[in-house]
Amino acid sequence: MNAIANETRALAAPTQPHPTHKLKWLLKREFWEHKGGFFWAPVVTGAIFLFFTLLGGGTGQFMLNRKSAKVIDFEGQQIPLSQVDWNKLIAAASPKDIEQYAQVVNGFTLMSGLWPLMVFGFVVFFYLLGSLYDERRDRSVLFWKSMPVSDGLTVTSKVLTALVVAPVTAALISLAVMLAAGIILSIFIAINGGNPFTIYWSHLQPLKLLGAMFGWLPVYAFWALPTAGWLMLCSAWARSKPFLWAVLIPVLAGVLVSWFGLFRDHDQGDGWFWQHIVARALTSAWPGSHLTGYAGTLHLQRLDDSPNALFGANGVISGLHLFAMPSLWIGALAGVAMIYAAIRLRRWRDEG
């Protein structure tokens, strides 16, 4: 009987969920509450780009059909434009021309996937700015504080959503847009009698494109911490209009630094304040903003010699070299400090 009673009490005793389980559900909550910005905004942006790509391709096809009687010089022969053998034209090209052609193909493919990332920068900026302010404004913070979830875990889930979940989602959508753009281009190539595989797909460098599309994600999570920390601190502190506070304080500080710099006999680096304080506080959450960290370094100078320096693990787009630079870690520590301050502020600032 005692064994049965003990087993019954053990089954009836409530079990505390593991913190990782809580974090998992918090991440799901943040994503589904802001799915319109994190998912649908990049999807709609990519769809608009594909629509105009299709529209532009159709217009180009129409103009090509109108001018099909025109001739071009191919190997000393005058051939009508409508009768050009594009496969033969590619096969007869020199290795240097093929390399330049491949760069154009990969450049077009990469550019087609950048549009969802551009809108993602705006989404994550305003998400961080309203992450703690909006729940105080509608007083939903009182409900969430009644749940068995700490302020630290709640704020951490918002940071991870903005710096990990959202950029991965945007990168996956960008990859889908790149594939769709390639399919649209292949259709027009096939309509004009070309082989899409030999003209387009065989010149793609998938590993470099994947590296360019996903390689920046690790450095982004650290590089964006100053902006994430500053915006969340303003979101937790401001009683109203957090956007004005978040933008005006660093900008006015930069103006004052430049103003007092007029009274100095020599330049002591007013530009440094704008680059490492103002810009890092306001723009670090935009994809690609880490490229400013290469200013004045040898990594950026390599771009003049080799376009391939953009791609791969050794390319500046991935930004892995920045992990060896103090500016990244100093900014990351400052961001973590401001996030900790936002956690402390959330514990007692619950007014509407």
Query: Could you tell me if residue 36 is inside a domain?
Result: no
What is the pTM for the complete model shown? 0.84
Judged by average pLDDT, the poorest of 73-87, 109-123, 307-321 is 73-87
Structure tokens, 100: 């330049």
Query: Could you tell me if residue 8 is inside a domain?
Result: no
State pLDDT tens for residues 243-268: 999 999 999 999 998 888 777 766 56
Query: Could you tell me if residue 60 is inside a domain?
Result: no
Q: Length of the chain, please?
A: 352
Burial class, 235, CB count within 10 angstroms (exposed 0-12 / middle 13-18 / buried 19+): buried
State pLDDT tens for residues 175-232: 999 999 999 999 988 887 778 888 889 889 888 888 888 989 999 999 999 999 999 9
Yes or no: say if 116 and 45 are a contact pair by the CB < 8 Å rule: yes
Specify the pLDDT at position 25: 86
Cα distances from 231 to residues 165, 264, 311, 325, in angstroms, run: 18, 32, 31, 24
Higher pLDDT, 202 or 304: 202
Query: Could you tell me if residue 263 is inside a domain?
Result: yes
Name the residue among 101, 120, 280 with its Cα closest to residue 213: 120
Query: Could you tell me if residue 5 is inside a domain?
Result: no
Query: Could you tell me if residue 138 is inside a domain?
Result: yes
Across 299-323, b (16+ Cβ under 10 Å) vs e yields beebeeeeebbbbbeebbbbbbbbe
Yes or no: say if 101 and 93 are a contact pair by the CB < 8 Å rule: yes
Specify the pLDDT at position 270: 78
Q: Is 205 helix (H, G, I), strand (E, B) or coil?
A: coil
Close Cβ partners of 155 (under 8 Å, ≥ 6 residues apart): 132, 232, 339, 342, 343, 346
Rg, the chain, Cα only: 27
Specify the pLDDT at position 120: 92
Residue 38: pLDDT band (50, 70, 90) is very high
Query: Could you tell me if residue 32 is inside a domain?
Result: no
Close Cβ partners of 204 (under 8 Å, ≥ 6 residues apart): 105, 106, 109, 182
Residue 161 belongs to domain spanning: 18-27+71-348
Query: Could you tell me if residue 41 is inside a domain?
Result: no
Q: How distant is the alpha carbon of residue 131 from its chain centre?
A: 18
Distance from C-alpha of 159 to C-alpha of 162, rounded to nearest angstrom? 5
Number of domains forming the structure of the chain: 1
